[in-house]
Amino acid sequence: MDVFVEQIIKKKYDFMDSLIVFGTLLLSFVLVALCLMFFPFALILVIIGDIALAYYIISSRNIEFEYSITNGDITIDKIINKSRRKRIISIDAHDIEFMGKNKPTNIKNNYIRLNVSQSQNNESNWYFSGHNSQKGNVFVLFTPNDKVLSAIKPFLSRQVAIDAFGRN
């Protein structure tokens, strides 16, 4: 029987997102002011380009993550402003070495950290670490629902499943 489950979560705005939006708006006003002082004849072109660039940067902070589980293959995509999609990672559940709830404190330094969760400090976050053929050793922080966890569980190695879910 084939297993296919997917979940889309929206990333919450954090301090860094607010800083990027504020910096973009501040830079836009500075560019228009400089253009007004030094190149007033090109003001219309600078304003149009400035608005387009600011819209692109600010709208790119609208991020969603899609978790797809297909017969033990875990695929996580980043959806930017509901128009662009970027593959973050694709890993086989058999390659997962550790899995658990919340963020552990002992992450190894040689692991690439991927935060594809709703927010960094969410109580319903889970993590897994394993080896990916393109990225190497990865540590992934994500926010799955119960359907996603149920779809992953049968494909984990026995010890990882016991460590993550207990002896159920």
96 Cα distance to chain centroid: 19
For 80, residues 6+ apart whose C-beta sits below 8 A from its C-beta are: 60, 62, 63, 86
pLDDT confidence of residue 21: 95
DSSP secondary structure code for residue 160 in this structure? H
Name the residue among 86, 155, 141, 143 with its Cα closest to residue 118: 143
In the chain, where are the structural domains located? 4-10+65-165, 15-59
Q: What are the tens digits of pLDDT across the range 121-149?
A: 888 899 999 988 888 899 999 999 999 99
Sign of the CA dihedral with 33 first, then 38, 40, and 45 last: negative
Taking residues 62-85, report their average pLDDT.
95
User: Which pLDDT score, from 0 to 100, does residue 87 have?
Assistant: 95
Half-sphere exposure at residue 74, Cβ-oriented, CA atoms within 13 angstroms: 27
Q: Whole-prediction pTM value?
A: 0.86
Tell me which CATH code domain 4-10+65-165 carries: 2.30.29
C-alpha span between 125 and 162 (Å, rounded): 18
Q: Which two tokens stand for residue 140?
A: 């992934």
